[in-house]
Chain A
Amino acid sequence: MRLTKFEHLEPKSLVEACAILAEHGDKARIIAGGTDILVRMKQRLVEPQFVVDIKRIDGIAEIKSDGAELRIGALVALSDVQKSAAVREQAPALAEAAAAVGATQLQNMGTIGGNICLETRCWYYNQTYTWRQGREACLKAGGSICYMAKASKRCYALYSGDTAPALLALGARVRLVSASGERTIGLEELFVDDGKKPTILNPGELIAEVIVPVAANGQRSTYLKFRRREAIDFPIVGVAAALGEENGVCSKAAIAVTGVGSAPFVAKDSENALLGKKVSQETIAEAAEAAFKQAKPVSDMEVSPAYRKRLVRVLVKDALTKVAGLA
């Protein structure tokens, strides 16, 4: 599978990168670890004229910790995320999520920025150019049909990134930069439940760093992933949970789910089922039930929506049981 021709640009600074991106607009694409975008380029799902390699940019490949926040540069490799002592201690869900991505080589190459921006995926979309000639283009490929939900006007491609739910549960923010300035937003605001374009990133805008508040005392977190095989596979469902307890009651609960819709979602009702209550098998079951209700998967070639929903309940229960130390 050959890549089609493009120009390879290597900005040395964020400012330069932003300028290049602004200049070339939709003709340009960012490449970080390349493990997602190069596959799509080989399949000719994207054929950028300019590939903007951000790996030579200084200062966005390190993890800094000031006691209150972890600042993780967008270029930090997933293997460095999981090896970082600071991340393992203060944001274990994130370390676990990074370790659950694909396989070792992909973790060595893939970056946290790229993982957050992982394109949504679909059995009909993630195919080669030749393969796709057999049928009408789907919504995501510029056509007007969604093969997963044929009656639908929207695209139901799945978001399958592993670190996003962990970061959501940990309350992370992202610092975005572009030629017109920078902004820092909650990660939750980055995503939209639309398979066709799952983030609100403006053209030319890139993630510079991820900011993770350091866990308050007594707060624990975890990430559980259900997949067919022990490696390589994207999550069928992934659940991150963070839990804090004060005076015997739940003072913080954050639960986020990936693999179910076109964006990772925060299970708000589950959180409410726990907050202010004693964390027990019963309240955990209620929280799991709430997540089950909130999950609205569509059909997929691998599993039915009903099964996926059930997995959400099981994984939320398991994750909470684990962080609550009730296992």
Chain B
Amino acid sequence: MKRIIELNVNGVVHEVVVEPQRTLLEVLRETLGYTGTKKACDSGDCGACTVIIDGRAVLSCLTLAVEAQGKNIETIEGMATGDRLHPIQQAFLDKGAIQCGYCTPGLVLSAKALLDENPKPSREEVKKAIGGNLCRCTGYVKILDAIEAAGEQAN
């Protein structure tokens, strides 16, 4: 049965008609056009679809859209302010943490959820926060550097 729900994405409230079996990932990408959130495994294994809901990094491929009703959803599209990249995005760029870029949105959001809560994490804490985000291109070194640099900058 279709339902009308309100999804608050990056501060913009969208009224959408969804069937309950739709995942948040599908609705973000296909209904609302937030294609920055990536679908890689679609089954919880890789972190590419990570978004932040009410301050926490979660997997949008394992979240039903109807359950995100009324919550604050942050996606990669909401990170930059106009043309100014968010410090985490800037650090990813400067440190060379992006290659193919497919894992990037998920990693940036995992990093944001971490740094919002813990602006000066240890390397081990960063590793734990992004342990569920697979990246095949970079070997992760520059990603760790970027997140640490962004954390330092925020302080």
Could you say which residues of chain B place their CB within 8 Å of the CB of A55?
67
- Complex interface: chain B residues within 8 A of A43 (CB): 43
Q: Chain A: which residue is nearest B18 at the CB level?
A: A8
CB distance from B76 to the nearest CB of A (A): 15
Q: Which residues of B contact A108 (CB under 8 A)?
A: 56-58
Min CB distance B129 to A, Å, is: 5
Q: Is B79 an interface residue (CB 8 A)?
A: no
A38 nearest in chain B by CB position: B62
Q: Does B123 contact A (CB under 8 A)?
A: no
Instruction: Enumerate chain B residues within 8 angstroms of A262, measured Cβ to Cβ.
Output: none
Closest to B59 in A: A105
| Shortest beta-carbon distance from A297 to chain B in Å | 24
B132 A109 Cβ-Cβ under 8 A: no
Number of interface residues of A (CB under 8 A): 30
Q: Give A34 to B62 CA distance when docked, in angstroms.
A: 7
Interface residues on B, range: 20 to 34
- Select from chain B the residue with minimum beta-carbon distance to A107: B132
Q: Is the CB of B44 within 8 A of A35?
A: yes
Question: When chains A and B are docked, how far (Å) is the Cα of A34 from the Cα of B67?
Answer: 10
Indicate which residue in B62, B127, B128, B131 contacts A39 across the interface (CB closer than 8 Å).
B62
Most chain-A Cβ atoms within 10 A of its Cβ — which of B43, B62, B66, B132? B62
A305 at the interface (CB under 8 A from B): no
Check if A230 sits within 8 Å of B131, measured CB to CB. yes
Partner of B56, one of A1, A79, A99, A230: A79
What are 13 contact pairs spanning A and B, CB under 8 A?
A7-B1, A7-B20, A35-B44, A38-B62, A39-B43, A51-B20, A102-B132, A104-B132, A105-B58, A105-B132, A106-B132, A108-B57, A231-B128
B residues touching A (Cβ–Cβ < 8 Å)? 1, 3, 19-23, 26, 42-45, 47, 50, 56-59, 62-64, 66-67, 110, 127-134
